[in-house]
Structure 1
């Protein structure tokens, strides 16, 4: 195992969680830091970090934020634990780029074995899960050639930025439009694809357009010399 690698465990504090952390610290030759969900994390080291997300305590919106952060920093890799079953794993993997998944029923020994593999750069998931994900990605590729509910190019851009975790203000900055224009586009998107909120829109996009790409580096950041125009 790469002993220079750090592990960040994103979970809520509890006696059971503390026993789990103590066990990992005894078994794994790495630095383990615990972070409550929703707390801000500023890495102190330059070494790669494996971030282990507790599915029992980290909601989908927060997982998407970690996903966006990992896409921007190649030193970060993500895994999730406490997943209910393989169906839950497929649903989670369709939304996030995870290198490994652990089920609630996994033994401590199995979790440690998987973490050791992840920290050497390998993947950790079952063959059946990989097979299901390959089928899922193939369906996404087929869907990408179908009409997309009349969404305009600008609306497709916005729904892609939603998938990267961008806020309305960040989307406005990237596209050089006002937040009011972004809200108007979102209203039209929700109406066309028959969803009611951002999370549903992102899930729809993943099912019908493929997993949204990381933040587009071709969009320049707006500075003081630019003004927002109409969308």
Structure 2
């Protein structure tokens, strides 16, 4: 999870899409609703825009063909520590399709209204995931069936604080809730989660929860459902 301070006065939202009256109207509405700036990013601009900014990126997968979507998966992944990514205008994605976007932290459907979109953006900027509960369950089940994550436990060492945060993570606590319970800042929680993800070789929060439920006892941690 990238370290972005959602408490600042302004943040940047990049909407990767094709220009249209609908998209222009959406950008205008978002500008009035959120405490940040919203900018349209075209396919050919995406690399330069991501390299020179930090914020939340909405990828309009309803606006592009399959080959372009595959291109986005490749070009966006290196920026996963700099930006928060969400899929926009998504149809009924399968768990396999969602898993092919391991750096995605949110999904917005075509039928979601503006209030839902704005609320989800705020949640993601505070360190939470924004996925329908059913999709989360399907995604965890998919990881259970396709778990190829190999960990050398003899070299794995989680600090006491990282262990505490990992325990909180499996209870579905948000970053702010974890921060409040441990009397630290949300920024500190994000930093610890970043280190945890690197150590246990996972790419996102869902994978971390699955890993914790299957491996905490192996590394000497006590996990309770």
Indicate the TM-score class for this superposition, using the shorter chain for normalisation.
0.5 to 0.7
Task: Render the CA deviation track for 1:32-59: whole Å, top value 9, x for unaligned.
Answer: 1101234344248865321101111134
CA contact 1:24–1:112 (8 Å) conserved in 2: yes
Distance 1:120 1:29 in 2: 13
Q: CA deviation at 1:64?
A: 3.8
Q: Which residue of 2 aligns with 1:95?
A: 100
- SS of 2:48's equivalent in the other structure is coil
- Any gaps of 5 or more consecutive residues in structure 1? 146-211, 214-231
For the aligned residues, what is the CA RMSD?
A: 2.8
User: Which protein has the bigger helix share?
Assistant: 2
Query: Kindly tell me: are residues 38 and 47 of structure 1, through their superposed partners in 2, closer, same or farther at Cα, counting changes over 3 Å?
Result: closer
Q: Aligned match of 1:13 in 19, 41, 65?
A: 19
Distance 1:44 1:110 in 2: 25
Q: Aligned match of 1:48 in 51, 54, 57?
A: 54
Task: Render the CA deviation track for 1:60-113: whole Å, top value 9, x for unaligned.
Answer: 44334443344323112211111123xx25343121121000011111111111
- Any gaps of 5 or more consecutive residues in structure 2? 1-5, 151-201, 204-225
Q: CA deviation at 1:4?
A: 4.2
Largest Rg, 1 or 2: 1
- SS of 1:8's equivalent in the other structure is strand
Q: Figure out how many residues of one structure are paired with residues of the other and give that number.
A: 144
